Amino acid sequence: MNLEAPYLVFVGDANDTLAAKTGQGVVDWRPEAVVGQLRLPGCRADLGVTDMSIQQAVEAGARTFLIGVVNPGGVLPEQWQGIIVDALAAGLDVASGLHTALDSIPAIFEAVRRSGRRLLEARRPIGPFPVASGRKRTGKRLLTVGTDCSVGKKYAALAIERELTVRNVAADFRATGQTGILIVGSGIPIDAVVADFAAGAAETLSPDNDPDHWDVVEGQGSLFHPSFAGVSLALLHGTQPDAFVVCHEPTRTTMRNVDAPMPGIDAVIEETIALGRLTNPAVRCVGIALNTSEVDAGRARRIMGQARRRFGVPVCDPVRHGVEAIVDEMLS
């Protein structure tokens, strides 16, 4: 996949900022590649970049219409079809992280044919993948895991990879979801792989490497989320991490999109070690990444101090304070 920058990021009628996390991720980690956002009436998300129409974006030099909004299940709402057709007709490529195959929609297929532009679908895995072997690979791996979906696993992994690079430690961020793939331009959308091969795809994603090289693998879902725990477990087993970081949003009380209580950080540490041992007996927790975006700086400091005392590992907010202490611990 080779996205042409700059992008017009489509936010649609996103209900909240979490729904627009794909777009937000691209704006946060590749701001130089974003020319503006396109929002529909009723949209409650704002990426903090200039609002513009397709025509204005084209005049500003945009090359790709990037769908920056997700919904549970990743299905394309009917009301977006016309906008995608317009974007193609205006000469833009369309990049998407939805489950829906855009070229399965006749109007879009036809618009691609007429415009000669491209559909870049980050959620369509390029297989085939093998059945996982469970064989121990060379090199080192860190996986970010979560108490829930959308708690900062991707940001934590990106921040850790950046900090390793600053320290001249060989490292690669390995994207496992559409946003990560749209940010770095490669990866495997694990949740879109056929279940039988999901762990095998995770093995493929972080192959044998130099002994001191770190793959920093973006986690998915949560072992405690009733919709996605199977995906999280396949990713844990296939990644066979030496180290993991638990990501958590301290103000959330119920899990996203389901009626289930949030698990404790202690339960996530325990279960990740219990299950992760199957493919890497040395797996250990090297830190906790708290997403404190919902609380003020003082409360964030108190919450982080409490967690540090309680769990005895480094605690960071990757966005607010960086991940130096976690990286110290993973390299120790």
Q: Does 244 bind its own copies (CB under 8 A)?
A: no
Q: How far apart are CA 102 and CA 105, in angstroms?
A: 6
Size, binding site for its own copies by CB under 8 A:
43
Between 101 and 319, whose beta carbon lies closer to its own copies? 101
**CB of residue 226 to its own copies, shortest distance in Å:** 3
**CB of residue 97 to its own copies, shortest distance in Å:** 12
Question: Which position has the token pair 């396949």?
Answer: 234
**Closest to 139 (Cα-Cα) out of 188, 161, 172:** 172
Q: How far apart are CA 223 and CA 293, in angstroms?
A: 23
Between 58 and 76, whose beta carbon lies closer to its own copies? 76
**CB of residue 201 to its own copies, shortest distance in Å:** 9
Q: Residues 106-145 vs its own copies: string with x where CB under 8 A?
A: ------------------------xxxxxx----------
Helix (H) or strand (E) holding 23: helix 21-29
Site for its own copies in 181-210 (CB under 8 A): 190-200
Q: Which stretch binds its own copies (CB under 8 A): 22-30, 61-69, 251-259, 309-317?
A: 251-259
Pick from 5, 275, 295, 319: which binds its own copies (CB under 8 A)? 275
CB 221 within 8 A of CB 146: yes
Q: How far apart are CA 26 and CA 211, in angstroms?
A: 31
* Spatial CB neighbours of 206, under 8 Å, sequence gap ≥ 6: 137, 139, 141, 174, 215, 217, 239
Site for its own copies in 19-58 (CB under 8 A): none
**CB of residue 205 to its own copies, shortest distance in Å:** 14
**Closest to 39 (Cα-Cα) out of 56, 63, 59, 61:** 56
Looking at residue 149, the DSSP 8-state letter turns out to be S
In the complex, the residues that contact its own copies under the rule CB under 8 A are: 72-74, 99, 130-135, 190-200, 223-224, 226-235, 237, 257-260, 271, 274-275, 278-279
